[in-house]
Chains A and B, each alone.
Chain A
Amino acid sequence: MRTIAMHQITEHVKQSVIDINYHLDESLVNLFRKAKAKETNKTASAILDDLIVNQDIAAKGDVPLCQDTGLVVVYVEIGRDVHLDGDLYQAINDGVRAGYDEGYLRKSVVNHPFQRTNTGDNTPAVIHVRLVEGDQLKMKIAAKGGGSENMSLVKMLTPADGINGVKKLVLDTIFHAGGKPCPPIIVGIGIGGNLEKSALLAKEAILRPLEDHAEDAIIRQLEDELYEEINQLGVGAMGVGGDTTCLAVKINHYPMHIASLPVAINIQCHSARHTEVVL
Protein backbone atom coordinates (compact mmCIF):
# COMPACT_ATOMS: atom_id res chain seq x y z
CA MET A 1 0.00 0.00 0.00
CA ARG A 2 1.36 3.39 -1.02
CA THR A 3 -0.09 6.63 0.33
CA ILE A 4 -0.61 9.59 -1.96
CA ALA A 5 -1.20 12.92 -0.27
CA MET A 6 -4.06 15.07 -1.49
CA HIS A 7 -1.93 18.23 -1.42
CA GLN A 8 0.25 16.61 -4.11
CA ILE A 9 -2.77 16.08 -6.33
CA THR A 10 -3.90 19.67 -5.79
CA GLU A 11 -0.45 21.05 -6.66
CA HIS A 12 -0.16 18.98 -9.85
CA VAL A 13 -3.64 19.92 -11.05
CA LYS A 14 -2.91 23.60 -10.37
CA GLN A 15 0.40 23.57 -12.27
CA SER A 16 -1.10 21.53 -15.12
CA VAL A 17 -4.08 23.78 -15.80
CA ILE A 18 -1.82 26.84 -15.89
CA ASP A 19 0.81 25.18 -18.07
CA ILE A 20 -1.57 23.78 -20.70
CA ASN A 21 -3.31 27.14 -21.12
CA TYR A 22 -0.04 28.88 -22.03
CA HIS A 23 1.92 26.17 -23.86
CA LEU A 24 0.85 23.94 -26.73
CA ASP A 25 2.53 20.60 -27.21
CA GLU A 26 5.39 20.83 -29.74
CA SER A 27 3.96 17.90 -31.73
CA LEU A 28 0.77 19.92 -32.24
CA VAL A 29 2.66 23.05 -33.32
CA ASN A 30 4.55 20.90 -35.83
CA LEU A 31 1.22 19.80 -37.32
CA PHE A 32 0.27 23.51 -37.68
CA ARG A 33 3.54 24.07 -39.54
CA LYS A 34 2.99 21.08 -41.82
CA ALA A 35 -0.57 22.19 -42.57
CA LYS A 36 0.66 25.71 -43.33
CA ALA A 37 3.38 24.42 -45.66
CA LYS A 38 0.89 22.61 -47.90
CA GLU A 39 -2.11 24.97 -47.64
CA THR A 40 -3.32 26.30 -51.00
CA ASN A 41 -6.15 28.51 -49.69
CA LYS A 42 -4.85 32.03 -49.04
CA THR A 43 -7.17 32.83 -46.12
CA ALA A 44 -6.63 29.45 -44.45
CA SER A 45 -2.90 29.94 -44.84
CA ALA A 46 -3.08 33.32 -43.07
CA ILE A 47 -5.12 31.72 -40.26
CA LEU A 48 -2.56 28.93 -39.79
CA ASP A 49 0.14 31.60 -39.56
CA ASP A 50 -1.91 33.29 -36.83
CA LEU A 51 -2.02 30.04 -34.85
CA ILE A 52 1.75 29.63 -35.00
CA VAL A 53 2.37 33.25 -33.94
CA ASN A 54 -0.33 33.01 -31.27
CA GLN A 55 1.30 30.12 -29.43
CA ASP A 56 4.65 31.95 -29.49
CA ILE A 57 3.03 34.99 -27.83
CA ALA A 58 1.17 32.87 -25.26
CA ALA A 59 4.34 30.96 -24.35
CA LYS A 60 5.82 34.20 -22.98
CA GLY A 61 3.39 33.78 -20.12
CA ASP A 62 1.42 37.06 -20.04
CA VAL A 63 -1.72 36.02 -21.89
CA PRO A 64 -3.22 32.53 -22.36
CA LEU A 65 -3.53 30.88 -25.79
CA CYS A 66 -7.29 31.36 -25.97
CA GLN A 67 -9.87 33.34 -24.01
CA ASP A 68 -11.84 30.13 -23.52
CA THR A 69 -9.57 28.49 -20.99
CA GLY A 70 -12.00 25.63 -20.73
CA LEU A 71 -13.89 23.37 -18.42
CA VAL A 72 -11.44 21.04 -16.68
CA VAL A 73 -11.86 17.34 -17.38
CA VAL A 74 -9.77 14.81 -15.45
CA TYR A 75 -9.50 11.08 -16.14
CA VAL A 76 -8.01 9.50 -13.03
CA GLU A 77 -6.58 5.98 -12.94
CA ILE A 78 -5.98 4.77 -9.38
CA GLY A 79 -3.85 1.71 -8.71
CA ARG A 80 -5.55 -0.65 -6.30
CA ASP A 81 -2.52 -0.53 -3.99
CA VAL A 82 -2.83 3.24 -3.56
CA HIS A 83 -4.15 4.75 -0.35
CA LEU A 84 -5.57 8.26 -0.72
CA ASP A 85 -5.21 10.37 2.43
CA GLY A 86 -8.28 12.52 1.72
CA ASP A 87 -11.07 13.45 -0.69
CA LEU A 88 -9.81 13.06 -4.26
CA TYR A 89 -12.59 15.15 -5.82
CA GLN A 90 -11.97 18.00 -3.42
CA ALA A 91 -8.22 17.82 -4.02
CA ILE A 92 -8.71 18.11 -7.80
CA ASN A 93 -11.19 20.97 -7.46
CA ASP A 94 -8.83 22.78 -5.08
CA GLY A 95 -6.16 22.54 -7.79
CA VAL A 96 -8.55 23.90 -10.43
CA ARG A 97 -9.56 26.78 -8.17
CA ALA A 98 -5.95 27.74 -7.41
CA GLY A 99 -4.78 27.31 -11.00
CA TYR A 100 -7.54 29.41 -12.55
CA ASP A 101 -6.89 32.16 -10.01
CA GLU A 102 -3.08 32.24 -10.09
CA GLY A 103 -2.90 31.61 -13.84
CA TYR A 104 -5.26 34.48 -14.74
CA LEU A 105 -7.53 32.02 -16.54
CA ARG A 106 -11.18 32.68 -17.39
CA LYS A 107 -13.80 31.23 -15.09
CA SER A 108 -16.19 29.66 -17.57
CA VAL A 109 -18.46 27.54 -15.36
CA VAL A 110 -22.04 28.45 -14.36
CA ASN A 111 -23.95 26.77 -11.55
CA HIS A 112 -27.30 25.94 -13.09
CA PRO A 113 -28.73 25.33 -16.59
CA PHE A 114 -31.11 28.31 -16.34
CA GLN A 115 -29.96 30.53 -13.47
CA ARG A 116 -26.45 30.52 -14.98
CA THR A 117 -24.57 32.20 -12.14
CA ASN A 118 -20.80 31.90 -12.55
CA THR A 119 -19.29 29.68 -9.84
CA GLY A 120 -16.39 32.15 -9.78
CA ASP A 121 -13.54 29.65 -9.63
CA ASN A 122 -14.07 27.38 -12.66
CA THR A 123 -15.13 24.47 -10.45
CA PRO A 124 -16.47 21.86 -10.44
CA ALA A 125 -14.26 19.91 -12.83
CA VAL A 126 -15.69 16.86 -14.60
CA ILE A 127 -13.88 13.91 -13.04
CA HIS A 128 -13.84 10.27 -14.19
CA VAL A 129 -12.23 7.66 -11.94
CA ARG A 130 -11.09 4.17 -12.91
CA LEU A 131 -9.52 1.49 -10.72
CA VAL A 132 -6.43 -0.20 -12.22
CA GLU A 133 -3.61 -2.50 -11.09
CA GLY A 134 -0.49 -1.15 -9.37
CA ASP A 135 0.45 1.53 -6.86
CA GLN A 136 0.45 4.62 -9.07
CA LEU A 137 -2.08 7.32 -9.70
CA LYS A 138 -2.38 8.75 -13.22
CA MET A 139 -4.30 11.87 -14.19
CA LYS A 140 -5.10 12.94 -17.73
CA ILE A 141 -5.97 16.61 -17.38
CA ALA A 142 -7.69 18.64 -20.10
CA ALA A 143 -9.04 22.17 -20.39
CA LYS A 144 -11.87 21.74 -22.90
CA GLY A 145 -13.33 24.71 -24.75
CA GLY A 146 -17.07 25.21 -25.15
CA GLY A 147 -17.16 25.97 -28.87
CA SER A 148 -15.87 22.60 -30.00
CA GLU A 149 -17.75 20.72 -27.27
CA ASN A 150 -21.02 22.24 -28.55
CA MET A 151 -20.42 20.63 -31.96
CA SER A 152 -20.05 17.13 -30.43
CA LEU A 153 -22.75 14.45 -30.27
CA VAL A 154 -23.78 10.90 -29.37
CA LYS A 155 -25.88 8.89 -31.81
CA MET A 156 -27.25 5.38 -31.36
CA LEU A 157 -26.75 3.72 -34.74
CA THR A 158 -27.92 0.17 -35.47
CA PRO A 159 -25.61 -2.76 -36.21
CA ALA A 160 -26.66 -2.71 -39.89
CA ASP A 161 -25.37 0.86 -40.24
CA GLY A 162 -21.85 -0.56 -39.95
CA ILE A 163 -18.62 1.21 -40.85
CA ASN A 164 -20.26 3.24 -43.60
CA GLY A 165 -22.93 4.49 -41.20
CA VAL A 166 -20.26 5.60 -38.76
CA LYS A 167 -18.30 7.35 -41.51
CA LYS A 168 -21.36 9.18 -42.79
CA LEU A 169 -22.24 10.39 -39.29
CA VAL A 170 -18.70 11.67 -38.68
CA LEU A 171 -18.42 13.42 -42.05
CA ASP A 172 -21.89 14.99 -41.77
CA THR A 173 -21.19 16.21 -38.24
CA ILE A 174 -17.89 17.84 -39.17
CA PHE A 175 -19.22 19.33 -42.39
CA HIS A 176 -22.21 20.92 -40.66
CA ALA A 177 -20.08 22.17 -37.74
CA GLY A 178 -18.07 24.16 -40.31
CA GLY A 179 -15.88 26.80 -38.68
CA LYS A 180 -17.67 26.77 -35.32
CA PRO A 181 -15.44 24.24 -33.48
CA CYS A 182 -12.27 26.13 -34.55
CA PRO A 183 -10.75 23.83 -37.18
CA PRO A 184 -8.26 22.38 -37.87
CA ILE A 185 -9.73 19.98 -35.33
CA ILE A 186 -8.77 16.76 -33.63
CA VAL A 187 -11.61 14.26 -33.85
CA GLY A 188 -12.22 11.90 -30.94
CA ILE A 189 -14.60 9.05 -31.70
CA GLY A 190 -16.01 6.48 -29.28
CA ILE A 191 -17.66 3.42 -30.77
CA GLY A 192 -19.43 0.84 -28.63
CA GLY A 193 -20.41 0.43 -25.00
CA ASN A 194 -23.70 2.24 -24.53
CA LEU A 195 -24.86 5.86 -24.49
CA GLU A 196 -22.50 7.19 -21.80
CA LYS A 197 -19.64 4.77 -22.46
CA SER A 198 -19.31 5.93 -26.07
CA ALA A 199 -19.02 9.55 -24.90
CA LEU A 200 -16.34 8.67 -22.35
CA LEU A 201 -14.41 6.76 -25.04
CA ALA A 202 -14.61 9.71 -27.43
CA LYS A 203 -13.32 12.23 -24.92
CA GLU A 204 -10.49 9.93 -23.85
CA ALA A 205 -9.60 9.36 -27.52
CA ILE A 206 -8.86 13.10 -27.82
CA LEU A 207 -6.31 12.76 -25.04
CA ARG A 208 -4.23 10.17 -26.90
CA PRO A 209 -0.78 11.25 -28.16
CA LEU A 210 -1.09 12.90 -31.59
CA GLU A 211 1.29 10.48 -33.28
CA ASP A 212 -0.21 7.19 -32.05
CA HIS A 213 -2.60 4.85 -33.89
CA ALA A 214 -5.29 2.43 -32.76
CA GLU A 215 -3.96 -1.08 -32.12
CA ASP A 216 -6.95 -2.84 -33.71
CA ALA A 217 -6.37 -3.16 -37.47
CA ILE A 218 -9.95 -2.35 -38.50
CA ILE A 219 -10.16 0.65 -36.21
CA ARG A 220 -6.75 1.87 -37.34
CA GLN A 221 -7.83 1.71 -40.97
CA LEU A 222 -11.00 3.63 -40.10
CA GLU A 223 -8.87 6.32 -38.41
CA ASP A 224 -6.73 6.63 -41.55
CA GLU A 225 -9.66 6.69 -43.97
CA LEU A 226 -11.61 9.23 -41.94
CA TYR A 227 -8.52 11.44 -41.69
CA GLU A 228 -8.32 11.53 -45.50
CA GLU A 229 -12.06 11.96 -46.07
CA ILE A 230 -12.47 14.70 -43.44
CA ASN A 231 -9.66 16.64 -45.08
CA GLN A 232 -11.42 16.32 -48.43
CA LEU A 233 -14.52 18.07 -47.03
CA GLY A 234 -12.96 21.46 -47.71
CA VAL A 235 -14.09 22.99 -44.42
CA GLY A 236 -10.55 24.23 -43.76
CA ALA A 237 -9.08 26.37 -40.99
CA MET A 238 -11.88 28.29 -39.22
CA GLY A 239 -14.28 27.09 -41.95
CA VAL A 240 -12.88 29.34 -44.69
CA GLY A 241 -12.06 26.41 -46.98
CA GLY A 242 -8.70 24.77 -47.60
CA ASP A 243 -6.74 21.58 -47.35
CA THR A 244 -6.62 20.89 -43.61
CA THR A 245 -9.86 20.41 -41.69
CA CYS A 246 -8.52 17.87 -39.17
CA LEU A 247 -5.08 17.26 -37.71
CA ALA A 248 -5.82 13.79 -36.35
CA VAL A 249 -8.58 11.21 -35.92
CA LYS A 250 -8.56 9.03 -32.79
CA ILE A 251 -11.02 6.19 -32.28
CA ASN A 252 -11.50 4.17 -29.09
CA HIS A 253 -13.87 1.18 -29.04
CA TYR A 254 -15.54 -1.19 -26.59
CA PRO A 255 -17.94 -4.19 -26.72
CA MET A 256 -21.66 -3.38 -26.94
CA HIS A 257 -25.20 -4.78 -26.87
CA ILE A 258 -26.30 -6.97 -29.80
CA ALA A 259 -28.92 -4.33 -30.68
CA SER A 260 -26.64 -1.30 -30.64
CA LEU A 261 -23.89 0.58 -32.41
CA PRO A 262 -23.37 3.65 -30.21
CA VAL A 263 -21.15 6.36 -31.72
CA ALA A 264 -19.91 9.48 -29.94
CA ILE A 265 -18.03 12.24 -31.73
CA ASN A 266 -16.11 14.64 -29.53
CA ILE A 267 -14.52 17.51 -31.39
CA GLN A 268 -11.35 19.15 -30.09
CA CYS A 269 -10.41 22.60 -31.40
CA HIS A 270 -6.88 23.29 -32.68
CA SER A 271 -5.93 24.62 -29.24
CA ALA A 272 -5.71 21.09 -27.80
CA ARG A 273 -4.80 21.67 -24.18
CA HIS A 274 -4.15 18.56 -22.12
CA THR A 275 -1.40 16.79 -20.22
CA GLU A 276 -0.69 13.67 -18.21
CA VAL A 277 0.61 13.38 -14.65
CA VAL A 278 1.80 10.14 -12.99
CA LEU A 279 2.26 10.01 -9.22
Chain B
Amino acid sequence: MIRLSAPVTRADLKSLKAGDQVLISGIVYTARDQAHIRLVNDKHPAFELEGSILFYVGPTPARDGVIIGASGPTSSYRMDPMSPALMERGVKVMIGKGDRSEAFRAAMMHHGSVYLIATGGAGALLSSRIKSSEVIMYEDLGTEAIRKLEVEDFPCFVAYDLHGNSLFQR
Protein backbone atom coordinates (compact mmCIF):
# COMPACT_ATOMS: atom_id res chain seq x y z
CA MET B 1 0.00 0.00 0.00
CA ILE B 2 1.29 3.45 -0.95
CA ARG B 3 1.26 6.08 1.78
CA LEU B 4 1.33 9.82 1.33
CA SER B 5 1.60 12.78 3.74
CA ALA B 6 1.89 16.55 3.28
CA PRO B 7 4.08 18.40 2.53
CA VAL B 8 4.26 16.53 -0.77
CA THR B 9 7.01 16.97 -3.37
CA ARG B 10 7.13 16.07 -7.05
CA ALA B 11 9.57 13.29 -6.13
CA ASP B 12 6.96 11.71 -3.83
CA LEU B 13 4.50 11.56 -6.71
CA LYS B 14 6.74 10.23 -9.49
CA SER B 15 6.20 6.56 -8.72
CA LEU B 16 2.39 6.81 -8.53
CA LYS B 17 0.43 5.09 -11.32
CA ALA B 18 -3.20 5.59 -12.28
CA GLY B 19 -5.24 2.99 -10.40
CA ASP B 20 -2.87 2.74 -7.41
CA GLN B 21 -4.54 2.76 -4.02
CA VAL B 22 -3.11 5.44 -1.75
CA LEU B 23 -3.62 6.00 1.98
CA ILE B 24 -3.20 9.59 3.09
CA SER B 25 -2.33 10.53 6.67
CA GLY B 26 -1.65 13.98 8.11
CA ILE B 27 -2.93 17.41 7.09
CA VAL B 28 -5.44 17.97 4.28
CA TYR B 29 -7.31 21.22 3.50
CA THR B 30 -10.91 21.29 2.29
CA ALA B 31 -11.90 23.59 -0.56
CA ARG B 32 -14.77 23.42 -3.05
CA ASP B 33 -16.44 25.86 -5.45
CA GLN B 34 -16.71 29.14 -3.53
CA ALA B 35 -13.45 28.62 -1.60
CA HIS B 36 -11.62 28.10 -4.90
CA ILE B 37 -13.09 31.27 -6.38
CA ARG B 38 -11.81 33.23 -3.37
CA LEU B 39 -8.51 31.43 -2.90
CA VAL B 40 -7.19 32.21 -6.39
CA ASN B 41 -7.34 35.93 -5.56
CA ASP B 42 -6.23 35.62 -1.94
CA LYS B 43 -2.64 36.85 -1.52
CA HIS B 44 -2.39 35.73 2.10
CA PRO B 45 -4.07 32.37 2.64
CA ALA B 46 -4.00 31.05 6.21
CA PHE B 47 -2.08 27.93 5.20
CA GLU B 48 1.00 27.04 3.16
CA LEU B 49 -0.05 26.09 -0.38
CA GLU B 50 3.38 24.67 -1.25
CA GLY B 51 3.22 20.89 -0.97
CA SER B 52 -0.39 20.94 0.22
CA ILE B 53 -3.22 18.47 -0.34
CA LEU B 54 -6.69 19.84 -1.20
CA PHE B 55 -9.88 17.81 -0.70
CA TYR B 56 -13.02 18.92 -2.57
CA VAL B 57 -15.70 18.50 0.09
CA GLY B 58 -18.51 20.34 1.84
CA PRO B 59 -19.30 18.23 4.94
CA THR B 60 -22.60 17.90 6.76
CA PRO B 61 -22.80 19.57 10.21
CA ALA B 62 -21.25 17.50 13.02
CA ARG B 63 -23.34 16.26 15.93
CA ASP B 64 -22.03 16.87 19.44
CA GLY B 65 -19.17 14.49 20.13
CA VAL B 66 -18.60 13.74 16.43
CA ILE B 67 -15.49 15.23 14.75
CA ILE B 68 -17.07 15.98 11.39
CA GLY B 69 -20.18 15.01 9.43
CA ALA B 70 -20.35 13.07 6.17
CA SER B 71 -17.28 13.95 4.11
CA GLY B 72 -17.21 12.46 0.63
CA PRO B 73 -15.71 14.14 -2.44
CA THR B 74 -17.64 16.45 -4.74
CA SER B 75 -17.23 16.52 -8.56
CA SER B 76 -13.83 17.92 -9.48
CA TYR B 77 -14.50 19.34 -12.95
CA ARG B 78 -16.09 22.46 -11.45
CA MET B 79 -12.70 23.36 -9.94
CA ASP B 80 -10.88 23.03 -13.30
CA PRO B 81 -10.84 26.77 -14.11
CA MET B 82 -9.21 27.61 -10.76
CA SER B 83 -6.87 24.64 -10.20
CA PRO B 84 -3.96 25.72 -12.46
CA ALA B 85 -3.45 28.97 -10.50
CA LEU B 86 -3.35 27.01 -7.25
CA MET B 87 -0.93 24.41 -8.61
CA GLU B 88 1.23 27.32 -9.76
CA ARG B 89 1.37 28.30 -6.09
CA GLY B 90 2.36 24.82 -4.97
CA VAL B 91 -0.75 22.65 -4.47
CA LYS B 92 0.50 19.13 -5.11
CA VAL B 93 -2.44 16.78 -4.57
CA MET B 94 -6.15 17.24 -5.26
CA ILE B 95 -8.80 14.78 -4.07
CA GLY B 96 -12.26 14.74 -5.67
CA LYS B 97 -14.36 12.57 -7.94
CA GLY B 98 -14.94 12.17 -11.68
CA ASP B 99 -12.88 13.09 -14.69
CA ARG B 100 -11.58 16.56 -15.54
CA SER B 101 -10.69 18.71 -18.53
CA GLU B 102 -7.71 18.20 -20.82
CA ALA B 103 -6.54 21.71 -19.86
CA PHE B 104 -6.49 20.70 -16.21
CA ARG B 105 -4.55 17.57 -16.97
CA ALA B 106 -1.93 19.43 -19.00
CA ALA B 107 -1.46 22.00 -16.23
CA MET B 108 -1.26 19.22 -13.63
CA MET B 109 1.55 17.45 -15.47
CA HIS B 110 3.36 20.75 -16.03
CA HIS B 111 3.29 21.56 -12.32
CA GLY B 112 4.13 18.02 -11.17
CA SER B 113 0.91 17.54 -9.21
CA VAL B 114 -1.48 14.58 -9.18
CA TYR B 115 -5.24 14.08 -9.06
CA LEU B 116 -6.72 11.42 -6.76
CA ILE B 117 -10.29 10.27 -6.32
CA ALA B 118 -12.03 9.02 -3.21
CA THR B 119 -15.25 6.99 -3.34
CA GLY B 120 -18.10 9.39 -4.11
CA GLY B 121 -21.09 8.98 -1.84
CA ALA B 122 -19.06 7.19 0.83
CA GLY B 123 -19.39 10.21 3.13
CA ALA B 124 -19.89 8.23 6.32
CA LEU B 125 -16.97 5.88 5.65
CA LEU B 126 -14.57 8.71 4.75
CA SER B 127 -15.68 10.76 7.77
CA SER B 128 -14.48 7.93 10.01
CA ARG B 129 -10.90 8.47 8.75
CA ILE B 130 -10.85 12.14 9.82
CA LYS B 131 -9.30 12.70 13.25
CA SER B 132 -9.65 16.47 13.66
CA SER B 133 -11.31 19.36 11.86
CA GLU B 134 -10.98 23.13 12.26
CA VAL B 135 -12.30 25.96 10.08
CA ILE B 136 -9.33 28.18 9.19
CA MET B 137 -10.59 30.42 6.35
CA TYR B 138 -13.83 31.85 4.93
CA GLU B 139 -16.02 30.82 7.87
CA ASP B 140 -18.93 32.75 6.32
CA LEU B 141 -19.07 30.14 3.54
CA GLY B 142 -20.44 27.56 5.99
CA THR B 143 -20.01 24.09 4.52
CA GLU B 144 -17.78 25.60 1.80
CA ALA B 145 -15.35 27.16 4.30
CA ILE B 146 -11.73 25.96 4.26
CA ARG B 147 -11.10 23.39 6.98
CA LYS B 148 -7.81 22.00 8.19
CA LEU B 149 -8.32 18.27 8.58
CA GLU B 150 -6.08 15.69 10.13
CA VAL B 151 -6.71 12.36 8.43
CA GLU B 152 -5.50 8.82 9.05
CA ASP B 153 -5.39 6.15 6.34
CA PHE B 154 -7.72 8.18 4.15
CA PRO B 155 -8.33 5.90 1.12
CA CYS B 156 -7.88 7.25 -2.42
CA PHE B 157 -7.11 6.02 -5.91
CA VAL B 158 -4.70 7.70 -8.32
CA ALA B 159 -6.89 9.09 -11.13
CA TYR B 160 -4.32 11.04 -13.22
CA ASP B 161 -0.63 10.31 -12.73
CA LEU B 162 2.46 12.24 -13.77
CA HIS B 163 3.07 9.95 -16.74
CA GLY B 164 -0.11 10.82 -18.62
CA ASN B 165 -2.18 7.81 -17.51
CA SER B 166 -5.81 8.06 -16.44
CA LEU B 167 -7.96 5.76 -14.34
CA PHE B 168 -10.93 6.77 -16.52
CA GLN B 169 -10.12 4.75 -19.65
CA ARG B 170 -13.24 3.72 -21.50
Contact = CB atoms under 8 A, between A and B. Distances in A.
A178 B166 CA distance: 13
Nearest to B61: A104
A150 B124 contact: no
B66 A43 contact: no
The size bracket of the interface on B is 35 or more
A104 B62 contact: yes
A106 B60 contact: yes
A271 B97 CA distance: 15
Contacts, number: 144
A108 B125 CA distance: 21
Interface in A36-87: 42-43, 46-47, 50-51, 53-55, 57-58, 62-69
B127 to A, nearest CB: 5
B97 A182 contact: yes
Interface string A228-252: 0000011110111100000000000
A180 B121 contact: no
B167 A240 contact: yes
A63 B121 contact: no
A147 B63 CA distance: 25
A144 interface: no
What 9 A-B pairs are tightest by C-beta distance, nearest first?
A180-B98, A58-B124, A57-B124, A50-B119, A54-B125, A54-B122, A67-B70, A182-B120, A179-B98
Say whether chain B's binding surface is mostly helix, strand, loop, or mixed.
Answer: loop
A107 interface: yes
Contacts of B124: 54-55, 57-58, 62-66
Contact of B99 (A55, A65, A66, A180): A180
Interface in A6-63: 42-43, 46-47, 50-51, 53-55, 57-58, 62-63
B35 to A, nearest CB: 13
Among A42, A50, A116, residue most surrounded by chain B Cβ atoms (within 10 Å): A50
Contacts of A116: 34
The size bracket of the interface on A is 35 or more
B126 to A, nearest CB: 8
A221 interface: no
A65 B143 CA distance: 16
B123 interface: yes
Nearest to A271: B121
Contacts of B72: 66-68
B71 interface: yes
B169 A63 contact: no
